[in-house]
């Protein structure tokens, strides 16, 4: 084959013109004046010409390409330019109408063309490509293929090194030239595998003219509103030729692997999904795609090697050389059957049914008769308070029933491998069944088979054509090639490995098709595809198949159907289903942990055992309404009073922050006999009628003061000018009083939690409180979000301003998520209010609520969580403060302690709020294992208010995730 191979015959060494020669050609041939700069190219020579008529590209074709091939490219560009909304270059013509022009360069006959320079950044220059970006790129590749399907040209059937259709010949010709023997072996093995798949199906693949090189170099993108790349153009038509339709998709799916080395298949799936949506792939094409992608990766790796030999000095070639080999390594690691299953799912094709082997012998005594499933998933009730990380606790669960053989379920999303949040998606989905049995337990072969691998404690048995049984956790004496009969003792259960959380067990897994290293656990995002090739091995063990858990789509469907849409969701388009919390972590239904940066409600951490015990104990004893006398209510009132300065000592207990503020406003209005309330603009104090009116004043009884904002406000960066906020506020109040409307009250957060943790200017509340009190008004401090020790150096936010309010409202942290809230005021005000009305809130301050609230205060104190807020908050400052200035999009780090806000702006100069970016950044942070959400008037401030048990390590993790996001894009 090598002797007749066309790719060895001609070297694709590109022409060698100087920049000044290029500039001269542009002028003499096309009448275009300008300076020339060389651009990279594998086989041609390209120059950017910048002059008063804008920017153009002079393309000097490799002499290996005929004028007809260059015409093919020009016509293909024209064809697409008129059909795509994205930018496509169209060759300019000389005054006499030619768009391919022969020239003589030192005796060499070359052809030149002039194209407009297309603005945009190559997609590959954007580090991270989010799933919707990949989908959009796949869709553009699909539209290119769809439009080119109607394009014809006599030169289309050309021999081209980069055509996937020619990959077998190219690799055969060039692989022997690869200098590194490991690389050579890998590329040959990859191509061999691809050819095996293509041997049967290639003749059925649709053919047409394709662009042939739609990849990250040639797709141009611009940032959209959210700061994500959005494909806006396609360039470089040098590889246009007749090929397989599916190759257009395969080239891009191969190319994006370098953007997602940890999850290349998930990236390819997004490309295929996008492509298929506009250019539906046929079933045979979907089946061929894994091989086409691998063939493309092999082809480009060997071609890069060859180009490096030809042009060792070219930076462009050197860069693409290493990228080509890295991509091949990544792609070669994806089993074809897995990719096929994933692509079928992406294209909405049904799962392929496969023959299932059925048990012919029992594996372990007692199975199936005494088999009992144990729950090691996120739903387990047997493991709590982090005990899923404790091997002894797991052992107790597994051994709970001494008569039973415990079974670890197939398809289970496991909690028991939890090590806390990680940047990458953890492998949590179990692809086999675990049979728990003591070390040394005899184990029989359930089926006859031939040993295809015997390493360590893992045995692979070929049990049927294309079906492998994987057994792990066994001690045995087999070697590859041995034949085992059903019912033979296959080995004995191995002792537990030191690093294993699970007690001794045999892992039983079925594998369909050629998969070198089948994993026992896989990430949830790729679990459906894996389950197509590793189906439930229950029949092999004589067990009933595992019941599937309700999936998150059904959970979401039910919520959308039966719960008001105005009860909004975080991540509304694709909310994670969160089913467990522990300390500062939240766990989704797949068992993935996230660092919870948003939950100030769970102030002492999720599922705190002290809080749970207090609630459970009191629920067993008594829970009733507050018109009965019981001790807990007075004890909690006394405890709250002890935390507040004099004269704040009388408590009303309700259920939410909204109610607390509503009651505080009523107290002020009824005791003063006035109606007017002063607040800060854009301030949320609750959803009740009276509190909602503060956010949306419809009536002039609400006076909203300008809210101080040191980052984007009019006095930003000027401490002296910040003081003017207080002066302006006082003047506004005085005007209102002069108009004959002295207010009943002033309400605000003494530290602006809902703006993202903004500290009020020094002296602000002193001035405003004085102005309000001067006219007999009442000062209400809404400590619902910001009180309770979160600020670290202050238990109450009003302390930071050096004031004592007349009324304080608390909620959220008060019950660590249990609905208990309070209004605290002075005796004098409480007596005046009591003279007007009684207050009865049925389940405000129940015995359970009060015990929970007392437990929260105990934990805060005993675990020194306020001190932790100082220490960890200072660490947060040290980690994130440098981001201001380092990243253009970070405008400010607000706040103190563990109530912080990272303000995202469009650029450092304008500091215009960047809400779309903030939302996209939160999505990216979620994919990296951090739950964070925007807040503020413009929803552009990331609120950082984790449970107070958060550690410096967690802040390091947050910093790492944020840095990666801001550096590599979102």
Q: How far apart are CA 688 and CA 784, in angstroms?
A: 15
Task: Tell me how far apart the terminal alpha carbons of the chain are, to the nearest angstrom.
Answer: 47
Sequence-ordered list of residues with C-beta below 8 angstroms from that of 235, at least 6 positions apart, any chain: 88, 89, 118, 218, 220
- Residue 754 CB, shortest distance to ligand PMP, in Å, is 5
- Residue 108 pairs in a beta bridge with 105
Per CB under 6 A, the segment of 624-632, 684-692, 714-722, 910-918 that binds ligand PMP is 684-692
Residue nearer to ligand PMP on the CB measure, 580 or 818: 818
65 sits near ligand PMP (criterion: CB under 6 A): no
Residue from 686, 743, 891, 915 binding ligand PMP (CB under 6 A): 686
599 sits near ligand PMP (criterion: CB under 6 A): no
- Residue 726 CB, shortest distance to ligand PMP, in Å, is 21
Q: Angle at which helices 315-332 and 181-201 pack, to 10 degrees? A: 60
Please name which of 488, 485, 481, 457 lies closest in space to residue 470, comparing C-alpha atoms. Answer: 457
What single-letter DSSP state applies at residue 736?
H
Residue nearer to ligand PMP on the CB measure, 416 or 813: 813
Residue 454 backbone zone (phi > 0: left; psi -120 to 50: alpha; other: beta): beta
658 sits near ligand PMP (criterion: CB under 6 A): yes
User: Alpha-carbon dihedral of residues 452, 455, 188, 186, nearest 10 degrees?
Assistant: 160
CB atoms within 10 A of CB 217: 20
Of residues 748 through 807, those in contact with ligand PMP by CB under 6 A are: 749, 753-754, 782, 784-785
Residue nearer to ligand PMP on the CB measure, 662 or 806: 662
Q: How far apart are CA 71 and CA 102, in angstroms?
A: 12
Residue nearer to ligand PMP on the CB measure, 493 or 811: 811
Q: Which two structure tokens, joined as six digits, stand for 98?
A: 């030619």
Q: How far apart are CA 363 and CA 539, in angstroms?
A: 12
- Residue 761 CB, shortest distance to ligand PMP, in Å, is 19
241 sits near ligand PMP (criterion: CB under 6 A): no
657 sits near ligand PMP (criterion: CB under 6 A): yes
Residue nearer to ligand PMP on the CB measure, 264 or 657: 657
Answer positive or negative: Cα dihedral of 61, 62, 63, 69.
negative
Q: Which two structure tokens, joined as six digits, stand for 193?
A: 């595998």
* Residue-wise burial string across 305-320, b where 16 or more C-beta atoms lie within 10 A, e elsewhere: bbbbeebeebebbeeb
667 sits near ligand PMP (criterion: CB under 6 A): no
Residue nearer to ligand PMP on the CB measure, 89 or 817: 817
- Residue 795 CB, shortest distance to ligand PMP, in Å, is 17
- Residue 570 CB, shortest distance to ligand PMP, in Å, is 13
- Residue 940 CB, shortest distance to ligand PMP, in Å, is 17
656 sits near ligand PMP (criterion: CB under 6 A): yes
Residue nearer to ligand PMP on the CB measure, 626 or 661: 661
3-class DSSP string for 581-630: EEECEEEECCCCEEEECCCCCCCCCECCHHHHHHHHHHHHHCCCCCCCCC
Answer positive or negative: Cα dihedral of 430, 436, 440, 444.
negative
Could you tell me how far CA 574 lies from the centroid of its own chain?
Answer: 11
Contacts of residues 735-742 at CB distance under 8 Å and 24 or more positions apart, as own/partner, are 736/676, 736/678, 736/703, 737/775, 741/676, 741/700, 741/701, 742/674, 742/676, 742/775, 742/776, 742/777
680 sits near ligand PMP (criterion: CB under 6 A): no
Asked if residues 299 and 164 have their Cβ atoms less than 8 Å apart, the reply is yes
Residue nearer to ligand PMP on the CB measure, 329 or 695: 695
- Residue 946 CB, shortest distance to ligand PMP, in Å, is 16
Residue nearer to ligand PMP on the CB measure, 753 or 757: 753
Q: How far apart are CA 549 and CA 777, in angstroms?
A: 57
User: Alpha-carbon dihedral of residues 32, 35, 38, 44, nearest 10 degrees?
Assistant: 10
Residue nearer to ligand PMP on the CB measure, 690 or 869: 690
Of residues 323 through 342, those in contact with ligand PMP by CB under 6 A are: none
With contacts defined by CB under 6 A, how many residues of the chain interact with ligand PMP? 15
Select the residue whose beta carbon is closest to ligand PMP and give its number: 657
Per CB under 6 A, the segment of 339-347, 650-658, 828-836, 853-861 that binds ligand PMP is 650-658
What single-letter DSSP state applies at residue 544?
P
Of residues 696 through 755, those in contact with ligand PMP by CB under 6 A are: 749, 753-754
Asked if residues 426 and 523 have their Cβ atoms less than 8 Å apart, the reply is yes
Residue nearer to ligand PMP on the CB measure, 427 or 781: 781
- Residue 813 CB, shortest distance to ligand PMP, in Å, is 10
- Residue 235 CB, shortest distance to ligand PMP, in Å, is 49
- Residue 809 CB, shortest distance to ligand PMP, in Å, is 7
Please name which of 259, 578, 299 lies closest in space to residue 413, comparing C-alpha atoms. Answer: 578
Q: Which two structure tokens, joined as six digits, stand for 429?
A: 């989905």
Up-side HSE of residue 698: CA atoms within 13 Å toward CB? 5
Residue nearer to ligand PMP on the CB measure, 430 or 685: 685
Per CB under 6 A, the segment of 143-151, 208-216, 683-691, 733-741 that binds ligand PMP is 683-691
Q: How far apart are CA 678 and CA 486, in angstroms?
A: 83
- Residue 691 CB, shortest distance to ligand PMP, in Å, is 7
Q: How far apart are CA 45 and CA 647, in angstroms?
A: 83
Q: Which two structure tokens, joined as six digits, stand for 905?
A: 């702006």
Per CB under 6 A, the segment of 191-199, 681-689, 712-720, 840-848 that binds ligand PMP is 681-689
Residue from 325, 684, 769, 833 binding ligand PMP (CB under 6 A): 684
Residue nearer to ligand PMP on the CB measure, 169 or 596: 596
Per CB under 6 A, the segment of 446-454, 652-660, 666-674, 923-931 that binds ligand PMP is 652-660
What single-letter DSSP state applies at residue 744?
S
Q: How far apart are CA 691 and CA 782, in angstroms?
A: 11
CB atoms within 10 A of CB 595: 24
- Residue 687 CB, shortest distance to ligand PMP, in Å, is 6
Asked if residues 474 and 493 have their Cβ atoms less than 8 Å apart, the reply is yes
661 sits near ligand PMP (criterion: CB under 6 A): yes
Residue nearer to ligand PMP on the CB measure, 663 or 928: 663
186 sits near ligand PMP (criterion: CB under 6 A): no
- Residue 434 CB, shortest distance to ligand PMP, in Å, is 43
Residue nearer to ligand PMP on the CB measure, 407 or 811: 811
- Residue 660 CB, shortest distance to ligand PMP, in Å, is 7
811 sits near ligand PMP (criterion: CB under 6 A): yes
Residue nearer to ligand PMP on the CB measure, 290 or 750: 750
- Residue 768 CB, shortest distance to ligand PMP, in Å, is 17
Residue from 512, 685, 794, 911 binding ligand PMP (CB under 6 A): 685
x/- track of binding to ligand PMP for residues 444-473 (CB under 6 A): ------------------------------
Per CB under 6 A, the segment of 401-409, 646-654, 656-664, 894-902 that binds ligand PMP is 656-664
Q: Which residues bind ligand PMP (CB under 6 A)?
A: 656-658, 661, 684-686, 749, 753-754, 782, 784-785, 811-812
């Amino acid at each position: 084959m090598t002797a007749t191979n066309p790719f060895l015959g001609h070297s694709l060494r590109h022409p060698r013109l100087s920049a000044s020669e290029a500039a001269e050609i542009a002028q003499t041939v096309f009448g275009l004046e300008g300076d020339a700069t060389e651009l990279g190219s594998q086989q041609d020579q390209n120059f950017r010409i910048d002059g008063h008529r804008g920017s153009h590209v002079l393309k000097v074709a490799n002499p290996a390409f005929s004028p007809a091939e260059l015409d093919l490219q020009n016509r293909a560009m024209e064809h697409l330019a008129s059909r795509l909304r994205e930018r496509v270059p169209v060759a300019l013509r000389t005054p006499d109408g030619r768009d391919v022009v022969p020239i003589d360069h030192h005796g060499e006959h070359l052809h030149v063309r002039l194209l407009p320079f297309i603005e945009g950044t190559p997609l590959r220059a954007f580090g991270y490509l989010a799933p919707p970006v990949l989908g959009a790129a796949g869709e553009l590749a699909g539209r290119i293929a769809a439009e080119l399907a109607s394009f014809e040209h006599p030169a289309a059937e050309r021999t081209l090194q980069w055509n996937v259709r020619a990959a077998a010949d190219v690799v055969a010709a060039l692989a022997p030239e690869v200098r590194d023997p490991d690389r050579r072996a890998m590329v040959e093995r990859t191509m061999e595998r691809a050819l095996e798949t293509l041997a049967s199906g290639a003749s059925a693949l649709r053919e047409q003219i394709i662009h042939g090189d739609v990849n990250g170099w040639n797709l141009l993108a611009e940032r959209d509103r959210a700061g994500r790349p959005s494909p806006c153009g396609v360039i470089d038509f040098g590889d246009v030729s007749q090929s397989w339709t599916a190759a257009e998709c395969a080239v891009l799916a191969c190319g994006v692997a370098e953007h997602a080395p940890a999850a290349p298949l998930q990236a390819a799936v997004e490309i295929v999904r996008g492509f298929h949506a506009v250019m539906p792939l046929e079933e045979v094409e979907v089946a061929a795609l894994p091989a086409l992608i691998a063939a493309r990766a092999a082809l480009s790796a060997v071609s890069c090697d060859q180009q490096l030999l030809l042009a060792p000095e070219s930076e462009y070639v050197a860069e693409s050389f290493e990228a080509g080999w890295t991509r091949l390594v990544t792609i070669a690691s994806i089993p074809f059957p897995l990719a096929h299953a994933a692509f079928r799912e992406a294209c909405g094709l049904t799962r392929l049914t496969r023959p299932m082997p059925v048990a012919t012998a029992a594996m372990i005594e007692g199975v199936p008769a005494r088999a009992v499933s144990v729950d090691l998933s996120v739903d387990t009730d047997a493991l709590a308070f982090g005990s899923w990380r404790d091997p002894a606790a797991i052992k107790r669960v597994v051994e709970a029933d001494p008569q039973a053989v415990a079974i670890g379920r197939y398809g289970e999303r496991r909690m028991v491998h939890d090590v806390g949040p990680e940047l990458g998606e953890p492998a949590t989905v179990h692809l086999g069944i675990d049979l728990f049995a003591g070390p040394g337990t005899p184990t029989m072969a359930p089926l006859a088979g031939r040993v295809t691998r015997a390493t360590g404690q893992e045995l692979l048995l070929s049990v049927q054509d294309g079906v492998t049984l994987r057994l792990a956790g066994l001690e045995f004496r087999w070697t590859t090639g041995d034949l085992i009969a059903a019912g033979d003792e296959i080995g004995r259960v191995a002792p537990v490995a030191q690093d294993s959380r699970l007690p001794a067990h045999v892992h039983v897994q079925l594998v369909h098709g050629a998969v070198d290293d089948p994993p026992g656990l896989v990430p949830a995002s790729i679990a459906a595809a894996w389950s197509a090739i590793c189906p439930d091995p229950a029949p092999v063990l004589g067990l009933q198949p595992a019941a599937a858990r309700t999936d998150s789509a059904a959970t979401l469907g039910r919520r959308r159907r039966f719960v008001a849409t105005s009860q909004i969701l975080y991540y509304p388009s694709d909310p994670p289903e969160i089913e467990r919390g522990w300390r500062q972590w939240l766990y989704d239904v797949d068992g993935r942990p996230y660092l919870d940066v948003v939950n100030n409600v769970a102030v002492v951490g999720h599922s705190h055992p002290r809080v749970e015990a207090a609630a459970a104990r009191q629920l067993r004893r008594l829970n009733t309404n507050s018109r009965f006398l019981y001790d807990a209510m007075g004890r909690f009132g006394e405890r709250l009073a002890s935390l507040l300065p004099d004269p704040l000592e009388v408590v009303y207990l309700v259920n939410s922050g909204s109610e607390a503020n509503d009651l505080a406003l009523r107290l002020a209005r009824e005791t003063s006999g006035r109606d007017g309330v002063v607040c800060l603009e854009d301030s949320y104090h609750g959803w009740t009628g009276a509190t909602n009116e503060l956010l949306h004043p419809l009536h002039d009884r609400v006076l909203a003061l300008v809210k101080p904002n040191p980052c984007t406000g009019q006095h930003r960066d000027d401490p002296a000018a910040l003081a003017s906020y207080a002066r302006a506020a006082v003047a506004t109040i005085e005007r209102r009083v002069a108009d004959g409307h002295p207010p009943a009250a002033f309400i605000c957060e003494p530290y602006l939690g809902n703006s993202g943790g903004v500290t009020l200017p020094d002296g602000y509340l002193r001035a405003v409180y004085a102005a309000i009190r001067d006219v007999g008004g009442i000062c209400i401090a809404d400590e619902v979000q910001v009180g309770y020790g979160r600020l670290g150096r202050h238990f109450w936010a009003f302390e930071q301003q050096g004031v004592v309010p007349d009324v304080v409202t608390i909620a959220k942290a008060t019950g660590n998520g249990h609905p208990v809230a309070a209004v605290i005021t002075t005796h004098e005000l409480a007596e005046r209010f009591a003279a007007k009305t009684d207050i009865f809130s049925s389940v405000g301050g129940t015995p359970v609520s009060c015990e929970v609230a007392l437990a929260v205060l105990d934990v805060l104190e005993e675990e020194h969580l306020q001190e932790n807020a100082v220490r960890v908050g200072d660490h947060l400052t040290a980690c994130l403060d440098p981001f201001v200035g380092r990243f253009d999009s970070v405008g400010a780090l607000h706040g103190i302690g563990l109530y912080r806000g990272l303000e995202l702006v469009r650029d450092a100069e304008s500091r215009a709020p960047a809400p779309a970016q903030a939302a996209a950044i939160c999505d990216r942070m979620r994919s990296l294992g951090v739950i964070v959400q925007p807040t503020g008037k413009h929803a552009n401030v990331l609120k950082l208010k984790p449970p107070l048990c958060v550690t410096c390590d967690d802040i390091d993790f947050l910093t790492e995730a944020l840095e990666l996001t801001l550096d590599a894009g979102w």
